[in-house]
Amino acid sequence: MSDATATEYGNEAQFEDYFALLKPRVMSLVVFTAAVGLLVAPGSVDPVIAFASILFIAMGAGASGALNMWWDCDIDAIMKRTQNRPVPSGRITAHNAMVFGLWLSVISVGMLAITANFFAAGFLAFTIFFYSVVYTMGLKRRTPQNIVLGGASGAFPPMIGWAVVTGGVSIESLLMFALIFVWTPPHFWSLSLFLNSDFTKAGVPMLTVTHGKPTTRRYILGYTVLLTIVSLLAAFSSIGGPVYLAVAVVMNAQFLLGAWKLLNRSEAAAEADFFTAERKVFKLSLLYLALHFTALLVEAGLRALDLNVANWPQVV
């Protein structure tokens, strides 16, 4: 084997590289929230249809991930966190990532239309469009509000799951949307507090880059207060209940406390302990969302077993 051959083939795309284009970690969140949306919805669907629908929603999310990696390959190459992605590392060409993303979009939307209904499929198409075109191509490099508005694309999956069963939208699915939508900014901003240098280098106008860290800390607290309201509101809807309320009270108290601590930290103190508190809030935010959706699932299970509390107050 000559060295020339090694260089030529050593970087060839493997199956795993195409899988990495789908952003598997984001996809796992989409699978989970879409599944909860589908399971808590009133009515039921055939288990095969439910499984296939979630798979196609995940495939659509993967498609937008691939399109995002195609468009962002220039800034991905600059940021340490994303340098090893298949496109910036040269294992997959940007063109191939785009073609792969487009085909997956077509297949996932088409298959969801056949499997579930046209409304859910249209919603998935809109979500892919929103993430790839509105967020990735439009907002991400232009405004520090990129995360706020872009968060909508990550918040649609439970609504799509709901739409698979009901064929429409309702206040409960909007509440699940609102929960992820309002959760996204404090989640990402706590990340950007300790990954700021990456975003500065790539010229992505994150709030930490454009308005500084003290402002970002204030915004995190503001959004956490808003998130608490949305989270508690969902407890008093037809998908909420005492289990959900208990989880919401504990998690919101912790998140608020974390955000309050972040507000009162100086940059010197944060740098001195390598952003321990910021990392803690970021990790807490992940647990926050996971537990909220798990609680919704538990409530749905209790309702199915007729173990729910009768006359649970519903304000929405």
Partner 1 sequence: MEFRKDHEIHTRRFRSNVMLGLVLCGFVALIFAITISKMMGGATMVEMEASDHVLRPQLLKDTQ
Q: Which residues bind partner 1 (CB under 8 A)?
A: 1, 5, 9, 12, 14-15, 46, 48-49, 52, 55, 114-115
> Nearer to partner 1 by C-beta: 68 or 115?
115
- Name which of 171, 151, 176, 130 is nearest 37 in CA terms: 176
DSSP 139: I
> Nearer to partner 1 by C-beta: 42 or 214?
42
Q: Is residue 69 exposed (0-12), middle (13-18) or buried (19+ Cβ within 10 Å)?
A: buried
Measured from the CB of residue 93, what is the shortest distance to partner 1 in angstroms?
A: 16
> Nearer to partner 1 by C-beta: 58 or 281?
58
Measured from the CB of residue 138, what is the shortest distance to partner 1 in angstroms?
A: 32
What is the spatial distance between Cα 5 and Cα 96, in angstroms, rounded to a whole number?
Answer: 22
DSSP 266: -
Taking a C-beta distance cutoff of 8 angstroms, is the pair 294, 286 a contact? no
Measured from the CB of residue 254, what is the shortest distance to partner 1 in angstroms?
A: 40
Place of tokens 């990456």: 198
Taking a C-beta distance cutoff of 8 angstroms, is the pair 140, 170 a contact? no
Measured from the CB of residue 205, what is the shortest distance to partner 1 in angstroms?
A: 38
What is the spatial distance between Cα 90 and Cα 23, in angstroms, rounded to a whole number?
Answer: 17
> Nearer to partner 1 by C-beta: 48 or 310?
48
> Nearer to partner 1 by C-beta: 49 or 169?
49
Measured from the CB of residue 29, what is the shortest distance to partner 1 in angstroms?
A: 22
